[in-house]
């Protein structure tokens, strides 16, 4: 009998009871806006910022409406504007170049390697070619490059680094949390990320001027003194009245949902990594399939899983995907001619007018992607791996 998987690749775990109770309490008192507080009350959003700053080791934190807003706010906070060029890796998701375009800047894509990280040699070349002075580094699908070497390249060229950590909340490189190498780290709490508030985002930084601008941009009015993870009042001097309000605040309801999840995050990361290792073990030493190596310096969060089918023609991959789907295994492919769901790629984003990137094209042509929700068990992952092995062997 042919094995078939019956689980859902998009079903998340329920919101923890503690988070539900906290959300109900906010709804009962009705003070959802982050600055609407009773005398002596500290807003849930301010508490979340303080706790997330401590979690990452950052001096400052700002909670915002979405991960995409966090990226655009970070760009504005470091002074990116119309006509500026902003570097980013070619293997990323649409919100990254979308954030760059939203401030009137031009995305400049950098090649990626077979290990799914930015090509540092091509990055150095791109910096020299076009004079870009900001890199929005996407830790796409949780793969972290050699951050020591990347910061050497960028610091040596005077390039400001903003980290997109939508897929690396809870991860680290050589012991430093993801988001803490660059000037700003941006995170997402959208449903499919590592904490779930439907939509939401967080920004961290140690730079008081940059964070002061971000807080003003988010729509703090003159109420920035109600933040508990903000720079001192002196950092805001000269910025008030000169910084536009581009409102994108997080509300107390979402912050209340997130605070208990933050306390659980380390345990959740350990669970994801057990699933990831079960997938790795199930697909090890399979002819025609290349696993993505994880460097010793990388502490990753295995919330998704990628592999390459480097020797397969597009038609063969389409058949493989169809056969896996018929057996209940939902895989995504970054090599399709047209965007589908979350798998659009750099040459689909016509507004960015991208150059051709032959190395990236070769990688994406065979790149297969899947989610690993915490509703899966290690036994589920073993079953998924058996089905994939069967279908690769048939091909």
pLDDT of residue 1: 59
Name the residue ranges covered by the structural domains of the chain.
17-260, 265-394
Parts of the chain with a pLDDT under 50: none
The confidence score (pLDDT) of residue 56 equals 98
The CATH architecture to which 265-394 belongs is Alpha-Beta Complex (3.90)
Q: What is the pLDDT of residue 337?
A: 87
The CATH classification of domain 17-260, taken from the options 1.10.10.10, 3.40.50.970, 3.40.640.10, 3.40.50.2020: 3.40.640.10
pLDDT of residue 338: 86
pLDDT at position 130? 87
Task: Check if the beta carbon of residue 216 is closer than 8 Å to that of residue 73.
Answer: no
The model's pTM: 0.97
**3-state SS, one letter per residue, for the chain:** CCCCCCCCCCCCCCCCHHHHHHHHHHHHHCCCCCCCCCCCCCCHHHHHHHHHHHHHCCCEEEEECCHHHHHHHHHHHCCCCCCCEEEEECCCCCHHHHHHHHCCCEEEEECECCCCCECHHHHHHHHHHHCCCEEEEECHHHCCCCHHHHHHHHHHHCCEEEEECCCCCCCEECCEECCCCCCEEEEECCCCCCCCCCCCEEEEECCHHHHHHHHHHCCCCCCHHHCCCCCCHHHHCCCCCCCCCCCCECCHHHHHHHHHHHHHHHHHHHHHHHHHHHHHHHHCCCCCCEECCCCCCEECCCCEEEEECCCCCHHHHHHHHHHHHHCCCCCEECCCCCCCCCCCCHHHCHHHCCCCCHHHHHHHHCEEEEECCCCCCHHHHHHHHHHHHHHHHHC
């Amino acid at each position: 009998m042919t094995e078939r998987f019956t689980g859902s690749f998009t079903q998340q775990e329920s919101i923890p009871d503690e988070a539900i109770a906290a959300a109900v309490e906010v709804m009962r008192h009705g003070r959802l806006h982050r600055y609407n507080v009773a005398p002596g009350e500290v807003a849930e959003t301010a508490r979340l910022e303080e706790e997330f700053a401590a979690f990452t080791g950052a001096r400052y934190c700002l909670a915002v409406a979405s991960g995409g807003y966090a990226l655009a706010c970070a760009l504005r906070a470091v002074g990116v504007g119309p006509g500026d060029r902003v570097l980013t890796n070619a293997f990323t998701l649409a919100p990254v170049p979308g954030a760059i375009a939203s401030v009137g800047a031009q995305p400049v894509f950098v090649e990626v390697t077979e290990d799914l990280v930015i090509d540092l040699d091509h990055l150095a070349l791109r910096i020299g070619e076009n004079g870009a002075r900001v890199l929005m580094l996407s830790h796409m699908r949780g793969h972290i490059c050699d951050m020591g070497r990347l910061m050497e390249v960028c610091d040596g060229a005077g390039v400001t680094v903003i980290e997109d950590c939508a897929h690396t909340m809870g991860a680290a490189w050589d012991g430093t949390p993801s988001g803490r190498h660059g000037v700003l780290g941006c995170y997402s709490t959208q449903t499919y990320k590592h904490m779930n508030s439907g939509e939401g985002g967080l920004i961290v930084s140690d730079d008081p001027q940059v964070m002061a601008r971000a807080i003003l941009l988010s729509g703090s009015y003159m109420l920035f003194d109600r933040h508990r993870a903000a720079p001192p009042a002196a950092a805001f001097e000269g910025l008030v009245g000169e910084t536009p309000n581009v409102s994108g605040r997080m509300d107390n309801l979402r912050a209340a949902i997130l605070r208990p999840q933050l306390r659980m995050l380390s345990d959740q990361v350990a669970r994801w990594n057990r699933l990831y290792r079960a997938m790795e073990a199930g697909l090890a030493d399979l002819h025609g399939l290349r696993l993505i190596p994880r460097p010793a310096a990388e502490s990753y969060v295995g919330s998704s899983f990628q592999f390459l089918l480097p020797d397969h023609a597009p038609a063969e991959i389409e058949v493989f995907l169809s056969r896996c789907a018929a057996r209940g295994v939902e895989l995504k492919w970054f090599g399709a001619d047209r965007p589908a769901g979350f798998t659009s790629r750099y040459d689909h984003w016509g507004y960015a007018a991208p150059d051709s990137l032959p190395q990236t094209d070769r990688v994406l042509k065979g790149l297969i992607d899947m989610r690993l929700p915490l509703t899966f068990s290690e036994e589920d992952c073993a079953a998924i791996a058996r089905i994939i092995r069967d279908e690769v062997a048939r091909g």
